[in-house]
Amino acid sequence: MHKHTKLIFDADNTLFDFDRAEETALVKSLEHFKLPKPEGLIDFYRKMNVGLWQQLDNKTITIAQLKQQRAAQLFEFIGQSADPTVFSLHYLDELAKCQFLLDHVEHTLNLLSEHCEMAIITNGLERVQNPRFAASTIKQHFGALVISEALGVAKPDAAIFEHTCDLMQWSDPAAVLMVGDNYRCDIQGAADFGMRTCWYNIRQQAHDYSDHDYEIQRFDELLTVLKA
């Protein structure tokens, strides 16, 4: 018997290997536009992108500003330019093609689907998330894919958790377990809404966090958590 049978997952770096997808999409986009790939590019881009998404989570920039600033800062780093809108759209389309799953995800979800109802909430872009999910090998396991851009509200806002529960026809947040890697958006957001939480500490960070109910460092450890 599983302890929790109603599960919500984050998408990037919880189910999907976003780090690998990001690098793949960036390199392919630069090659397409015949732009250089200077040393340190991937580390720069990754840190810059994380910072912009944090600003979006904090509501200090809009999604349109994120796309524009991301391209502008990239072009400044490589010392060349292209049409930022065209480049951004190409990059997003390349990202949508990258359905790389993290280790143990597919097998674990196959087992969980026998006993659990599952949904996904992602602070992401429709142009990426919808086609990637549709082409993935795990789509059949989920009753809902909730994308922040489509809803107009993002984690950690309670409204996105409430909306997902409504879609899944789950009336009691305390009966739902949220699984994600982002402590503020996934874990604290869900906990504030009254859900149970499992932090996927994928980078094995040392910490003194206390808002989560469970912690895993490998995805398949979730099976042990649910049977505890």
Q: Rounded mean pLDDT of the chain?
A: 95
Q: Quick one: 65 and 151 in the same domain?
A: no
Structure confidence at residue 1 (pLDDT): 52
Structure confidence at residue 2 (pLDDT): 67
CA-wise closest residue to 225 among 164, 177, 175 = 177
Q: Quick one: 66 and 164 in the same domain?
A: no
What is the domain-level CATH number for residue 118? 3.40.50.1000
Interval 43-67 mean pLDDT? 91
Q: Quick one: 126 and 220 in the same domain?
A: yes
Q: What is the pTM of this model?
A: 0.94
User: Domain range holding 109?
Assistant: 6-16+102-227
Q: Give per-residue pLDDT as tens, 153-211.
A: 999 999 999 999 999 999 999 999 999 999 999 999 999 999 999 999 999 999 999 99
The number of folded domains in the chain is 2
Cβ partners under 8 Å of residue 130, min gap 6? 96, 145, 147
Q: Give per-residue pLDDT as tens, 78-113.
A: 999 889 889 999 999 999 999 999 999 999 999 999
**Pairwise CA distance, residues 38 & 55, whole Å:** 26
Structure confidence at residue 227 (pLDDT): 87
Interval 13-28 mean pLDDT? 97
> Is residue 148 in a domain?
yes
> Is residue 191 in a domain?
yes
